[in-house]
Amino acid sequence: MGNFYFDESIHERGHFALGAFVYTEESLDGPVADALAKSGLTPGVDEFKSGALMDRYPEQARARDLLHSVIFENNCRIGVVVAPHYSCLALGSEAIRGLKKILSTNQFRTGSHEAFFDEGIFGTANTGERAVNAAGILQACRFHFEQDSVQVPGIQVADLVAHTCATMLLAQLGVVKKMVKSGENSGYDPDSDMELEFKLWAGLRYNFFAAAPPPVDTWESQLDFQVDVKSRGLQIADACEERVREAALIRFGSMYLGCIH
């Protein structure tokens, strides 16, 4: 049975709310609990919060790094939902539409799924159920609304992905401009500087729900090694400002998978 976890990151200065689905074939409860324990946090009591000040809370920074590893080690797949920042209900409804797109355009090993949504996405479970009924996907998943991310640890991974993707979108909009060290295992000199959004993108680019890449014999160059995310794993609300829509399409609509070193 597959598992979808959903959380959001709201950015008034960017005029958007970004939600992320993280999908795994197996539950993330165990892997996240292990990551938290290795970070010095207590599973079932503490949780990773992407909004924490990492320089003040080293255990949160350590948890962030280990949860990134959870994404790769568990073959997590990612879907992105973008909506206006001023309405959680709009984001929730758009998330259900995004989930419908993901389910209808991608292949899964199992035909049954659990879908967990963090607290505050819909406000009430009844609101979430109405959105599911309106979208006509009630039979596709067993839905769990208004979930506590301490008790459903996989939501903490969705929190990390939502924050990461939101930072990438803020950079695309020109709101965030920050240089960071490339670090170990980046393929670059660890002490070299790179744009934050590039480092974040490089770490997630293989995990998005996407179509298959074009056949190699059709490529004119390595730049053609790109996959379509827009039709498989990206949902943008019609109510989004045009500049947000355009930035989201540029950032997430397709994903280059070729060499970057």
Q: Where are the domains of the chain?
A: 2-162+209-256
Q: What global pTM score does this model have?
A: 0.94
Spell out the per-residue pLDDT of the chain, length 261, in tens: 899 999 999 999 999 999 999 999 999 999 999 999 999 999 999 999 988 878 788 999 999 999 999 999 999 999 999 999 987 778 999 999 999 999 999 999 888 899 999 999 999 999 999 999 999 887 779 999 999 999 999 999 999 999 999 999 999 999 988 777 666 665 666 767 788 888 999 999 999 999 999 989 889 888 889 999 999 999 999 999 999 999 999 999 999 999 886
Residue 54, class by beta-carbon neighbours within 10 Å (0-12 exposed, 13-18 middle, 19+ buried)?
middle
What residues have CB less than 8 Å from 46, skipping those under 6 apart? Answer: 36, 150
Half-sphere exposure (Cβ direction) of 194: Cα atoms closer than 13 Å:
20
Q: How far is CA 45 from the centre of its chain?
A: 24
What residues have CB less than 8 Å from 229, skipping those under 6 apart? Answer: 80, 208, 209, 210, 252, 253, 254, 255
And the tokens for 240? 């989004």
Q: Which CATH architecture is the domain 2-162+209-256 placed in?
A: 2-Layer Sandwich (3.30)
